[in-house]
Structure formats: C-alpha cells, structure tokens
Chains A and B, each alone.
Chain A
Amino acid sequence: MADEFAKGFTILVTAGLAWLTLAGWYNTPSFEGQQLTAADPTSGLTVYDQVALVLKDALFWFAILGFVTFVVVIPAVRKLREAYDGTPEVPE
C-alpha cells in the first residue's frame, strides 16, 4: 500500500509539475488574467509549440490517471483478489 501510494504520488507531482510549467507557458496569457486554464494559442505555433501542447494534455491525464491507478485501482484489485481467494487480509 505504501509503495503503491509513493508511486502514484510521484506520478502526480512530477507530471503535475511538468503540466503546470507548460500550462504556465501556453495557457496563462497575463499575470492578472486566467491562470493555467485559458484556451490554447492557435496562431504562430512552431513544431516545438505543437509538441508541447500535445505533451501538456498527455501529462495532465497521466498525472490524474496514474495517481488513480496506483492509489485506487491496484489496491482495490488486490483487496478484491484477497477477498475472492479467501486469504486473510494483510494489515497495511
């Protein structure tokens, strides 16, 4: 449980930080305006910018799905398997 939590938490904070940086570059038009959630820029994008925008979305969902997978899904599957096999519960 603790190992799985550490993995999920690492994914969350690492991918989240990368997403935060990219969103700060591309989706924060001004300091006092919308933060991190503004619409993607459409014009004047280089190849690197387009790659970064794709990467930004990918990292966002990787942060959320990775965290949910390791903290919720995998422990739940283990518990279900324990219950299904009838083995005694391992204290975590």
Chain B
Amino acid sequence: MSDNDIDEGEGPTADGSGIVAPDDETPTWSERKERSQGLSRLTYEYFERARREDQDLRVESDYVERDVLAFPAWPHEMVRNLALTSFFVGMTVFLAAAMPPHIGAPANPSNTPAVILPDWYLYWSFGLLKLGPLNPDLALLGGQKLMADRTYGVLANLVVVGFISIVPFLNKGAARRPVEQPFWAAVGVGGVVYAATISALSVKNLLPMDSHLLFDLTFLLPIVAGCIAYAVFKSMREGYMFELNRRYYRLRPPK
C-alpha cells in the first residue's frame, strides 16, 4: 500500500515518461525482499540459504538434476514431518492424561446385548443390508421378489465394492485438483455423502427421525450435495488464484 502512495500525483504521463522508474532509486525485487522485516525476512533468509546450499551442492557434484517440483527430504520435509508428529503425539498424550477413557465391566458372553452394531466404519455395509424397500416386486413372478431381501442387501455390497475397485482403472487424467474436473469431483462428493447417509440408515432405529424420510434422504442428499458441489467447482474455475494454482500444480512433462 505504502509503495502505491509514493508515486501518487506523478502517474504515467501521455508520453510514457512516468512509467520508467528513476534510475538508482527503484529497489530490485531481491532488495525489496531483503528489506522486509520479521518473520518474512527470516523465511526469506532461510529459503535463500537453503537454495544457495542446494545450488552449491549441485555445482560441485555430478548430481543429475531431476525435473521435479519439490523440496529435499532433509531438512525441509523432515522438519515438517517431525512437527506434525510431535503435535499429534502431544495431543494423544494430553487427551489420554486429561480425560482418561472409561473402562467398562467385562463383557458377559452368555448375554446378547440389546443393540448389535458393527464398528462405525462398517456402518455403510450394514446399511446396505437394509435396502429391502428397493427390492422390486416383479409382476412376471406374480408379485413375488426375485430374491430375498437379505440376498439383495449382500448383492448391493458387491455392487459398491465392485464400483470402488474399478476406480483405479479409470483414466482420471493429469489433474490433481477437484476444481479441474467438476463433474467427477461432484461424483466423488456424492459418494462421500452417500457413505455418510447409508451409515445413518444402518442405525435408523437409533436416530430420532421418521425412518421413511431417512430412507428417502439417504438417496436424495447425495444427489443434492453432488449438484451443489458441481456448481461450486464450476464457479471456482476463474480468477487469479485459479490460474496461478493451475500453473503451479501442472506437472511438467519429462524431458
């Protein structure tokens, strides 16, 4: 801001003389960076030294420079990883010390609990077993169902697992960011929301809401979320930051 305030009043004239900075007064970009204060100066010096050491090492070695956009593992990546590791270890120790978990009475193997549920990360599979209302009554069979509801639920598991196992074989292109491919990103958002809603369906007798409404929402919410995500990603495909990030994240072709 203060840089702009200096040259107020003597803007570029019609002959273009104001565009050129007065010689010996305009700082270069490196001088600008060096003059800045505090943390930004420290960061600049750190990276500048790291860059310089890197350059010296490259010059004096027969190291073949790879065309990869990254920092060296030591110290940059390792410092970051140690910081993250310390944070999570500290958080675990803090929570374990401040709020020790409850240890319940030992399980009684001769008693069946009132509520039987799988672990939470398998709720989606448990929910797929409750798709009975989608199992069609076939007029050809005189209104009978082709298979039992439980068979239908197990087959639904196969469909979901089969679809997920196809994903690695789909050509998703070189894009690394959801905003580059709004449609497929929206499909992904719908899938994540569906995982949440089908998990909620699996515990429908524990949820304080109408189970028919819950069943409808299980399939409507993913579609709604996908549409919203598509609109958001589409609207994000413009602007300065989008272009900048696209240039930054584009992988360079191998030589």
The distance in angstroms between the C-alpha atoms of A24 and B95, with both chains bound, is: 10
Interface residues of B in 72-124 (CB under 8 A from A): 98-99, 101-102, 104
Is A31 within 8 A of B239, CB to CB? no
- A91-B239, A91-B240, A91-B241 given as contacts; is B104 within 8 A of A24 (CB)? no
- Quote the shortest CB–CB distance from A89 to chain B (angstroms): 10
Query: Which label, helix, strand, loop or mixed, suits the secondary structure of the B interface?
Result: loop
Q: Which residue of A lies closest to B240 (CB)?
A: A91
- A91-B239, A91-B240, A91-B241 given as contacts; is B98 within 8 A of A31 (CB)? no
Q: Does A25 contact B (CB under 8 A)?
A: yes
Is B102 within 8 A of A31, CB to CB? yes
Interface residues of B in 204-248 (CB under 8 A from A): 239-241
- Quote the shortest CB–CB distance from A14 to chain B (angstroms): 12
The distance in angstroms between the C-alpha atoms of A30 and B101, with both chains bound, is: 10
B240 neighbours in A (Cβ, 8 Å): 91
Is A30 within 8 A of B102, CB to CB? yes
- A91-B239, A91-B241 given as contacts; is B104 within 8 A of A31 (CB)? yes
Q: Which residue of B lies closest to A31 (CB)?
A: B102
Q: Which residue of B lies closest to A28 (CB)?
A: B99
- A91-B239, A91-B240 given as contacts; is B98 within 8 A of A21 (CB)? yes
Is A24 within 8 A of B99, CB to CB? yes
- A91-B239, A91-B240, A91-B241 given as contacts; is B102 within 8 A of A25 (CB)? no
The distance in angstroms between the C-alpha atoms of A31 and B103, with both chains bound, is: 9
Interface residues of A in 11-55 (CB under 8 A from B): 21, 24-25, 30-32
In addition to A24-B99, A91-B240, 6 A-B residue pairs with Cβ atoms within 8 Å of each other are A24-B98, A25-B98, A30-B102, A31-B102, A31-B104, A91-B239
Binding site for A on B (CB under 8 A): 98-99, 101-102, 104, 239-241
Among all A-B residue pairs, the 10 with the closest Cβ atoms: A31-B102, A91-B240, A24-B99, A21-B98, A21-B99, A91-B241, A31-B104, A30-B102, A24-B98, A31-B101
15 A-B residue pairs with CB within 8 Å = A21-B98, A21-B99, A24-B98, A24-B99, A25-B98, A25-B99, A30-B102, A31-B101, A31-B102, A31-B104, A32-B102, A91-B239, A91-B240, A91-B241, A92-B241
